[in-house]
Amino acid sequence: MSNDTGVERTLILLKPDAVARGLVGRIVARFEDCLLKVVASKMVWMDATLTRRHYFDLEERFGPKVYAAMAEFMQSGPVLAVVFEGVEAVACARKLVGATYPDQAQPGTIRGDFAHMSQAYANEHGIAVANLVHASGNVDEAAHEISVWFAKDEIIEYRSATAPFGQ
């Protein structure tokens, strides 16, 4: 969803490491603190089919080893999928999440504050980078990813307390 008012939707996945570490509430609060509202959420244990649908191009872009490591990681525990809505939600979420590799993420970002793994360590050990969160990269990607995770009737429309700010 995007419209001429700048209100967008984005998909955020709290990965198995975020769930296992009990960071779900703290991470969701970061998005809500920035006036992004939850319009859909569900906890899912990803299977091979959902993993392939979500990461449909990962193997082509980075090779089978990267895909296999990511698939194993994402299927290792439950994932919380959340659709957030708000003004320029995609860019806002990307800024909150921080750099892909936690050792490069700035303090104040989710990955900078709560994660620590480097790409070198992950590569050396043949594992996915434990970086807590997936965030859609752009509006089109967000629309596709939301459709992978949620049916239209699972996304709730409501007026939030921040409605005067465009939501």
Catalytically active residues are 134
Q: At 133, which helix (H) or strand (E)?
A: strand 133-135
DSSP state, residue 2: B
Report the 10 Å Cβ neighbour count for 111: 24
How far apart are alpha carbons 19 and 44 in whole angstroms? 11
Residue reference for tokens 């569900």: 42
Written as six digits, the tokens of 59 are 């193997």
DSSP state, residue 106: P
